[in-house]
Amino acid sequence: MQSLPECQADDHEDNRAIPLPDEISCNTAAALFRALGEPSRLQLAIILAQQEMCVTQLAKIVNDSLPSISQRLKLLKAERIVTSRREGKHVFYKLDDDHIAQLIRNAVEHAGEK
Amino acid sequence: MQSLPECQADDHEDNRAIPLPDEISCNTAAALFRALGEPSRLQLAIILAQQEMCVTQLAKIVNDSLPSISQRLKLLKAERIVTSRREGKHVFYKLDDDHIAQLIRNAVEHAGEK
DNA sequence: AATTCAATTAAACAATTGCTGAATTGATGA
DNA sequence: TCATCAATTCAGCAATTGTTTAATTGAATT
């Protein structure tokens, strides 16, 4: 009987053909995904994709404490998912750019296909 | 002196205007992000976006143990990021669809802007 | 300057996650 | 059937993460 084709990678010595994705790109891109990879943070991002909002408003809407919201926003901001501006006592957040909005739309779309 | 405009959300009672993103969507989309939100898993996804590959090959390329790779792939598969097919002793994985490839490209692009 | 409200930060704790080595399953060939 | 190789599963451990309460910072008003 004819045997099945051997695993192509038995030429284990030659990895030249497949360049590893560079480590820094992986790390920073993964950090971006990780920031959005938590329901409560993603929820904030989705809300802020619709309209700019201050921390207190967000806390009311999602019914959670200020420190929680603030910490989530801090992480989202570190990954440049949201930007903030202060206006008097309030700090307003919004989505950084359409790039991110597109990313979120794609993910929600994919998730919806289940 | 003119005082700064009040926070728009002092009408705290009326949240009708801002519908909460539905919880299930948030959870499933977040799960997708979380799966990609780990450098070693994202690395696998990026490699598999370029070509189909079996577990042993992947282990060689990223220089890690079979159980590690297998567990990562399992999670990626659970989120429908990759698909697998068995061929004899080997199980080959590849990216599920271009949807995901696009998602990854966007993220890497965004990360590169830093 | 003192008060008040918004937001952030800090520290401690609980829960989740990823990794490691051993055991197990699946499939082929002797 | 037995031996072998690929892949998965399992259980225990270490590290990371998210939450909570309290304390602190920042800005405006009196």
Domain map of chain B by residue range? 42-114
Burial of B102 (0-12, 13-18, 19+ CB in 10 A): middle
Q: What is the pLDDT of residue B5?
A: 41
**Sign of the CA dihedral with A88 first, then A72, B14, and B17 last:** positive
Q: What is the pLDDT of residue A15?
A: 43
Q: What is the pLDDT of residue A7?
A: 58
Residues with Cβ within 8 Å of residue A3, at least 6 apart in sequence: none
**CA nearest B96 in A: which residue?**
A110
Average pLDDT, integer, range A87-91: 96
**Sign of the CA dihedral with A14 first, then A16, A17, and A23 last:** positive
The third-level CATH classification (topology) of the domain covering A39-114 is Arc Repressor Mutant, subunit A (1.10.10)
A63: left (phi over 0), alpha (psi -120 to 50) or beta: left
B12 contact to strand C (CB, 7 A limit): no
Q: Which CATH class is domain B42-114?
A: mainly alpha
What's the CA gap between A103 and A32, in Å, rounded? 11
Q: In chain B, which residues have pLDDT < 70?
A: 1-19, 114
Q: What is the pLDDT of residue A77?
A: 98
Q: Does B12 touch chain A (CB under 8 A)?
A: yes
Asked whether the beta carbons of residue B47 and residue A12 sit closer than 8 angstroms, the reply is no
Apex A34 CA angle, A31 and A39, nearest 5? 155
Average pLDDT, chain A: 86
Give residue-wise pLDDT tens across range B23-44.
888 999 999 999 999 999 999 9
Give residue-wise pLDDT tens across range A5-17.
455 444 334 444 4
Contact A57, A70 (CB under 8 A): no
A109: left (phi over 0), alpha (psi -120 to 50) or beta: alpha
Q: What is the pLDDT of residue B47?
A: 97
Buried b (16+ CB within 10 A) or exposed e, A18-32: beebeeebbebbbbb
Mark which residues 65-104 of B lie under 8 Å from A by CB: 80, 87-90, 99-100, 102-104
